[in-house]
Structure 1
Amino acid sequence: MNVIVIGAGPVGQTAALLLARWGLDVLVLDQRPARDLEGSKSICQQRDVLDLWSSLGVPEVAEEGLTWTTARTYYRDKELFSWSFDSQGPLPPFVNISQARTEQLLDAAIAREPRIEVRWDHEVTGLTQDADGVTVRCGDRVLRAPYVLACAGARAHAVRQALGVTFDGETFDDRFLICDIRADLPGWENERRFYFDPEWNPGRQVLIHPCPGGTFRIDWQVPPDFHPTKDDISEKIRQIIGEWDYELIWQSVYHFHSRIASRMRVGRVLLAGDCAHLVAPFGARGLNSGVPDAENAAWKLAFVARGWAPEELLETYHTERHAAARENLEVTAATMRFLVPGTEEQRRHRRDVLDRAAIDEVDSGRFAEPYWYVDSPLTTPERSRPFAGRPPKGATVPPAPGVILPDLPIPAGRLRDLCRDGFLILLGEMRDSGLFAQLVGKVTTAPLAVRELAEVDGTGTLAETLGAVPGEAWVVRPDAHIAAIIPHAGPESVTAAVSRCLRLS
């Protein structure tokens, strides 16, 4: 095998499918005896994650998931504001769907892939590496591969310890009760509701999400010493839904964590998902950052393993995804300071914001968005295309080097359908595309496609939407991020951008 993936959750499943698509043989290990399909867990999947899963032959997550239309925020018994997502694009902005169902759909795709083998009941107890590969021990069983991608979740203590990686951060004292219920609640089926300080949970908050099949996910912030009985849970649910009939499907109580691994790459081992970073769930930045970890790791592992790039490329996995994790920690830490204020000053600030109904200052979790690799060593900056900074909530960022390519409809399907088989070079006018491909091919044998925008979309709509101008060349990475936008581009400047993106120069 070429890569051992530790962990068969959604991040590990995604990584295995991506590595197999790149032509690598993958062994997936999981310590559990079998798949556990209980509970909604990570329910909210962002558009770019749905795009990636669709490209892997799993469009059902987007098709089966539910996209609510309205988000309502309340303070005590008063509605502060409501808003809706921009639903433009070939895929919904997000869907709600249980993690259990997502895992089932990814499992089905894995079962169709002969390059992937999954072994359950394989708890990793030791891990060592040398110049040629990595040795993984599961009790008395010894396995070996050139590379390992650890997606083993937050409790992967043995893996991090074996690598000498710390997992620094904090755990919040307050606990959170989660319940999945099935109920017919007219008017609630397409609304997400967030309650600050309701009379039935004073001083804390409650979040309610609709999910497919007439189910709802309810999250209560509860005191640190809260240990619910069946009657406690029934009372809490009744306080919200009244006398409507309901079925309790699943429940759990847990703490929120804010932690990050000191390193996400140690030699031939990469760490991804909850194994590398933990964030509070408000804003859905957990799984929605773990899946981009998997994609970033997979194309780089494949390019190194297949001889298309030097091993130095792997270090940029740590550079890029550690920066992404730090940003997610920053955003969610600000949210938690508002939701769970730890000082009297923070509590006063929250009361003041809510009492004033200061809509722009209410922080119930900025929704997950892709990380933009504008400062990455793989990105070629361009003064005429500066990064515009973090956009307003719900808005998209204009295309620029480091930003993910917009997922736009084209006559053949979606623009990103062209992106994930290697490097994509988009030319802004009729050029000698064969010459571009020939010259870039002299520096790397990595997969490469050169397309003219007029060829991709002869109407001119695509070029207009991107803001592409004649003479430009757009270099797009295998994970659909823009590596360079080059004005007055020639084959040499395009070749230089590709070389930079592969750490060839």
Structure 2
Amino acid sequence: MDPVIIVGAGPVGLALALALARQEVPCVLLDEGPGKDEPRPARTVVLREDTAALMERLTGVPLARAGARPAGWRSMRRKQVVHEIAYDDARPAPLHIAQHVLTGALRAALTGERLVRIALNSRLDSLEQEPSGVTAHTRGPEGTWWRGSYLVGCDGPRSTVRKLQDIRFPGRTAVERYAVAALRTELPWHDEVLLHRMPPWRASGPSAGEITARPLPEGVWRLDWLLPPGKELVTPELLLARVRETLAGWNHGAAPPYELLDTGVHTVHHRLARRWRADRVFLAGDAAHLLGALGTHGLDEGLRDVDNLAWKLALAWHHGPHEALLDSYQTERRAVVAARLRAADQALPLLRGGGGLRSYVPGAARGHDALLMDGHLGQGALGAPGTYADSPLAPGRLEGEVPVGTPPGTAVTDVRVTAEDGTFVRLRDRLGRGALLVVLIAPGTGVWERRHWVSAGIMPRLAAAVSALPHPAELLVAEDYPGAAAHTVLLVRPDGHLVTALGGVRPADLYAAAEAVVGGATKTETDAESEAEARAGAGAATG
């Protein structure tokens, strides 16, 4: 079987190569650059807690040490604090990290990876599809043809893969623009993100109506100033004036000493590819979607694309075509991103329009502040992680299905579980291996050695049901789970989304749910079963 070809060696392409390698799928990673990333302190990313955990699983590096998890978040309007939130176990802090640091960690994890071949200075210029695979040609010092089973375009907003497949990429250009600076300084608050709307001082040139400050390690802050609409050139003088006036405004007129590390202008576009799959070619990350207005984070969504696609490609690579399963990538992920873009497009006129009804309606400004907060905090239509409740992989109604604290299609809560070898691990640590997870909720098992309960009660029957599933599955045991009664059985996808919760051991329901989530029986499996039945019938006739 030919390897999977991944075009583009940004964070999404690197993460996909690692995710596939972890599931024993060989890859060729086409990197049009020299394999090094220029340090840019002002180019940072914000990863939600579960996405950061995915990156740590893939890299094996505790990325929190290289980034920052803020202690809290606050929003201000003029001089008044509108909202203030402290992060804790119930509301985990996101990870703020420089993109070159994240990319470096992913590259380091790929060093010596036997299943991934990285082709540097290799720019894709053509590709051809056949029923059995994909052929791609690259130009460069060692321009050549590459043969693959599938090809994934992770090659950014100007994706060559998308253009070669003639996939439209409609949307809006320059939805928002920000001037950005990374500087080392001391601010009046510590270790908190600040969203400051309508600051009470006047900036040089057009007034800055919104400023965001995010902490980074070693006393570094990233500051973002929302720019007025238009294409006005952001000169170094204008940016320095914004830095000085902002620091002075936050420090009662006296700007503290600062060291300017990096600057830039960040332009937000909103676009969504019409198709994310063209036979054996897929799109992921910025090649498939662009978003980022109102506090939403595009790279976080791109890494969620990786989590969704990797296990499906791995299953198809190992076991033959699973068309319904592969189609579900576009259905699930495109719907989530489209909903996020719709929410942002609906909110933008309210939040950026100025004047209008909000000048006369009491409390309108506060309501708009709360709406903007959703994108930054990862909640509501603007920011909440997507769910796959309407997925084509969702099983039909099951007789034994019961409700738990996690609705079907939603990412499961990370709880402590007992693995098959008796060790205690986090549920999230077992994700991304290609196997389904079956979790039995059994209060009290945590205080007994595994040998005392593994052969008692319902465990033998459940173990037999798990071994008979149509796809490899790992059996885990948890003492509790939000909203779940004792003896509830959870079926979890390899990317951590709940398939169903069953009340007790129900082999038929468990099998039906597992078969649905891997796209039903494959053609190869169906043919094999038919041939086996035919051979059995022939044997009976001749006997």
1:302 aligns with 2:314: yes
Report how far residue 370 of structure 1 moved: 2.4
1:484 equivalent among 484, 489, 500: 500
1:115 aligns with 2:121: no
1:497 equivalent among 496, 509, 513: 513
1:95 aligns with 2:95: yes
Size of the aligned set, in residue pairs, is: 478
1:164 aligns with 2:180: no
Alpha carbons 1:150, 1:272 under 8 Å: kept: yes
Alpha carbons 2:170, 2:272 under 8 Å: kept: yes
Deviation track 1:398-427 (CA, whole Å, cap 9, x = no partner) reads: 312111111124571312223333111123
Alpha carbons 1:300, 1:314 under 8 Å: kept: yes
Give me the whole-angstrom Cα distance separating, in 2, the residues matched to 1:432 and 1:190: 49
Q: Which amino acid aligns with 1:498?
A: A
1:145 equivalent among 144, 148, 159: 148
User: Which residue is equivalent to 1:394?
Assistant: none
1:229 equivalent among 232, 235, 247: 235
Question: TM-score, normalised to structure 2's length?
Answer: 0.81
User: Which residue is equivalent to 1:400?
Assistant: 407
Give me the whole-angstrom Cα distance separating, in 1, the residues matched to 2:387 and 2:343: 15
Distance 1:196-1:350 versus aligned 2 partners, 3 A rule? farther
Alpha carbons 1:257, 1:279 under 8 Å: kept: yes
Distance 1:253-1:360 versus aligned 2 partners, 3 A rule? closer
Q: Which amino acid aligns with 1:19?
A: L
* Stretch deviating more after TM superposition (495-504 or 310-319): 310-319
Deviation track 1:269-323 (CA, whole Å, cap 9, x = no partner) reads: 1111111111125434311111110011110000011007623310011111111
Distance 1:172-1:186 versus aligned 2 partners, 3 A rule? closer
- Secondary structure in 1 aligned to 2:189? coil
User: Which residue is equivalent to 2:86?
Assistant: 84
Give me the whole-angstrom Cα distance separating, in 2, the residues matched to 1:246 and 1:354: 37
1:11 aligns with 2:12: yes
1:25-36 paired onto structure 2 within 5 Å: 25-36=26-37
Report how far residue 203 of structure 1 moved: 6.1
Q: Which amino acid aligns with 1:190?
A: D
Give me the whole-angstrom Cα distance separating, in 2, the residues matched to 1:267 and 1:78: 54
* Stretch deviating more after TM superposition (240-249 or 360-369): 360-369
1:124 aligns with 2:139: no
User: Which residue is equivalent to 2:436?
Assistant: 423
User: Which residue is equivalent to 2:387?
Assistant: 372
1:190 aligns with 2:191: yes
Report how far residue 73 of structure 1 moved: 1.6
Alpha carbons 1:473, 1:485 under 8 Å: kept: yes
Report how far residue 356 of structure 1 moved: 5.3
User: Which residue is equivalent to 1:106?
Assistant: 106
User: Which residue is equivalent to 2:47?
Assistant: 45
1:200-215 paired onto structure 2 within 5 Å: 200-201=202-203, 202=207, 204-215=209-220
User: Which residue is equivalent to 2:60?
Assistant: 58
Q: Which amino acid aligns with 2:85?
A: W
Give me the whole-angstrom Cα distance separating, in 1, the residues matched to 2:436 and 2:39: 39
Give me the whole-angstrom Cα distance separating, in 1, the residues matched to 2:6 and 2:432: 21
Give me the whole-angstrom Cα distance separating, in 2, the residues matched to 1:215 and 1:335: 31
User: Which residue is equivalent to 2:421?
Assistant: none
Alpha carbons 2:19, 2:432 under 8 Å: kept: no
* Stretch deviating more after TM superposition (267-276 or 222-231): 222-231
Report how far residue 350 of structure 1 moved: 7.3
- Secondary structure in 1 aligned to 2:21? helix
Report how far residue 385 of structure 1 moved: 5.1
Distance 1:350-1:195 versus aligned 2 partners, 3 A rule? farther
Give me the whole-angstrom Cα distance separating, in 2, the residues matched to 1:360 and 1:222: 18
2:342 equivalent among 330, 346, 357: 330
Report how far residue 179 of structure 1 moved: 1.2
Distance 1:356-1:364 versus aligned 2 partners, 3 A rule? closer
* Stretch deviating more after TM superposition (424-433 or 68-77): 424-433
Give me the whole-angstrom Cα distance separating, in 2, the residues matched to 1:129 and 1:172: 34
Question: TM-score, normalised to structure 1's length?
Answer: 0.87
Give me the whole-angstrom Cα distance separating, in 1, the residues matched to 2:73 and 2:301: 22
Give me the whole-angstrom Cα distance separating, in 2, the residues matched to 1:59 and 1:336: 37
Report how far residue 117 of structure 1 moved: 1.8
Q: Which amino acid aligns with 1:274?
A: D
Give me the whole-angstrom Cα distance separating, in 2, the residues matched to 1:426 and 1:56: 23
Distance 1:200-1:147 versus aligned 2 partners, 3 A rule? same
Give me the whole-angstrom Cα distance separating, in 2, the residues matched to 1:353 and 1:35: 53
User: Which residue is equivalent to 2:330?
Assistant: 318
- Secondary structure in 2 aligned to 1:102? helix
Q: Which amino acid aligns with 2:412?
A: L
User: Which residue is equivalent to 1:180?
Assistant: 182
Alpha carbons 1:385, 1:400 under 8 Å: kept: no
- Secondary structure in 1 aligned to 2:50? helix
- Secondary structure in 1 aligned to 2:520? coil
Report how far residue 19 of structure 1 moved: 0.1
Give me the identity figure in percent. Answer: 27
- Secondary structure in 1 aligned to 2:113? coil
Report how far residue 478 of structure 1 moved: 0.7
Report how far residue 70 of structure 1 moved: 2.5
Give me the whole-angstrom Cα distance separating, in 2, the residues matched to 1:441 and 1:312: 24
User: Which residue is equivalent to 2:292?
Assistant: 280
Taking only aligned residues, the RMSD between alpha carbons, in angstroms, comes to 2.6
- Secondary structure in 1 aligned to 2:319? coil
Report how far residue 493 of structure 1 moved: 1.0
Alpha carbons 1:339, 1:364 under 8 Å: kept: no
Question: Unmatched 5+ residue regions in structure 2?
Answer: 249-254, 419-423, 443-455, 522-543
Deviation track 1:158-211 (CA, whole Å, cap 9, x = no partner) reads: 21122121111112365321111122x143331211122223343621111111
- Secondary structure in 1 aligned to 2:344? helix
Q: Which amino acid aligns with 2:436?
A: F
Distance 1:225-1:162 versus aligned 2 partners, 3 A rule? closer
Deviation track 1:125-182 (CA, whole Å, cap 9, x = no partner) reads: 22221101111122352212001111111121x2112212111111236532111112
Alpha carbons 1:135, 1:142 under 8 Å: kept: yes
* Stretch deviating more after TM superposition (294-303 or 47-56): 47-56
User: Which residue is equivalent to 1:391?
Assistant: none
Deviation track 1:208-256 (CA, whole Å, cap 9, x = no partner) reads: 1111121111111223232233222211100111332222222111321
- Secondary structure in 1 aligned to 2:202? coil
Distance 1:349-1:487 versus aligned 2 partners, 3 A rule? same
Report how far residue 469 of structure 1 moved: 2.2
Give me the whole-angstrom Cα distance separating, in 1, the residues matched to 2:280 and 2:367: 49
